[in-house]
A and B are shown apart, each in its own frame.
Chain A
Amino acid sequence: MHVYLPIAELSVNWFTLLVVGGGVGFLSGLFGVGGGFLMTPLLIFLGVPAPVAVGTGAAQILASSVSGVLAHWRRQNVDVQMGIALTLGGFAGSALGIWIFTLLRQAGQVDLVIRLCFVFFLGGVGGLMLIESARSWFRQASAGVRKRKLREHHWLHGLPLKLRFRRSKLYISALLPFTVGFAIGILTAIMGVGGGFILVPAMIYLLGMPTQMVVGTSLFQTLFVAANVTILQSVTNQTVDVMLALLLIVGGVVGAQLGTRFGARLRGEQLRTLLALLVLGVGLKLAFDLVTTPDDFYSLAPEGQ
């Protein structure tokens, strides 16, 4: 039942990996997020070295985003123009992020920064989503509809390099998606996640994209950024374990399909509330670990990490 992972250099029960992949895949299919923010901590918990968990996670995210993009492409829910602008920003951002990652690793603080990033973003995004969905429950209860203006005009629209994004029905500066992609790219490199859980709200609230375009386009961007990270990690750190990735992918794709089917039976607000609770829960757990007294004050690392 055990399989030896050649790059992670440890032996793990392959059934456990299928279940982990399937579980994360189910949640990502259910909520339309990549699930990297669950996968990376779970792999580290299983004993996979953190750099291998991050590197292999990128390959797994690539597989699930290819599968997701194809599904959305058929429904014409991918804004290629917007995706390219986001991707270019993402490439630049992840280059900067990998440089920051190296500096932090040398200072021995990469663990802390990763955890703080997770706590901050998971807590923030989860909290906002929870408030938002609580409001929508409330709004439904009291039928008084006060519709928010969809696109307000403010200084962001005065930026140069304006482009018409046909699919998204937007006329905004290309610098805007580029900057969003850039910021997400930095986080992707440091946290080892696809960034969907930050990208999706950013596209809705900052760029003002129509919701049905958001998931497909975000997956389109994730595909290229994940491919880029997979190559970079393979070349610089040799931390992509194909064996581990394959087992996670097999579990993940099956789980994702089941999740999508199950998700179709739930209402939008229910889904969003559940996702908010999940994101918030993971964030709180990490925050809790940061403040509670550790079992052992000491930790080991090979030299240079």
Chain B
Amino acid sequence: MESLFEQSSLFLQQLVNGITLGGVYALIAVGYTMVYGVIQLINFAHGEIYMLGAFLAYTMVTVLGLPFFAAFALTLVICAVFGILLDLIAYRPLRNAPRLAALITAIGMSIFLQNLALMIWGSQIKSYPREVLPPVFSKAAWTFGEVSLSWLQVFILSVTVVFMILLHLIIHKTRIGTAMRAVSQDKTTSALMGIGVNRVISFTFAIGSAMGGMAGILVGLYYNAIFPTMGYIAGIKAFAAAVLGGIGSVPGAMLGGGVLGIAEVIGAGYISSEYRDGISYAVMIAVILFKPSGLIGRQIGEKV
């Protein structure tokens, strides 16, 4: 730890780790932020969809013996359907109920799904078999002194970026995207303008859940560990990322995820690894208190 060179390569390496983690947070955060943008609900069960994504792919690979990339694609589809069902069963009936009721339902769903997974898969940590990915993924893609970037990290980051760009295009260049933006501005007026509001909401849930499920698989690969309670902490952190970036904004989620990932890794590496999770909570509370609109979010006023 003596030389400046070593110090800076340590920092660079932590930065690389942080950005990878941040990419994953961003993928989960997108689900929160889009749903919140459209129906103003913190979908607490979103973290569980992330967890289910990881487990579904795991089951497909180990039990059904599907090739990894097929399992990957299939998981995205199932998670999307799952998101739609979640909305249909749990949230839609409460659309006009007090917000407290919807929030409690969201928490209830989260707890329910988490324990369902506990019953199905057990509480022990599971790992994807090593063979699922071509061996090249564990090799370094790029090395500079002590700093290295593995192909897996490259894979995670590029998947994140590609899907984010895709999402941005969907929201801003397609009809359904325009409809989503309209619904998030004003549901009633959108309905009057002939937009199928429920269809738009379902679509939002589908996209967000697919991204969440994908994040679950990527994390499972990256850390080699999936377990039923993984969605609980990751979900809250991703929500913190969404708030940090500005809730309702997709680029905001990306930025928030990146910043939070780096803050967490640097904090764990330099300040205190015991308080690592505390860093995200503290960031979240501070942002909510002092700048509730987030880094690049739009101002949200209480609708009267």
Chains A and B belong together in one complex? no
Residues of B within 8 A of A (CB): none
A residues near B (Cβ < 8 Å) are none
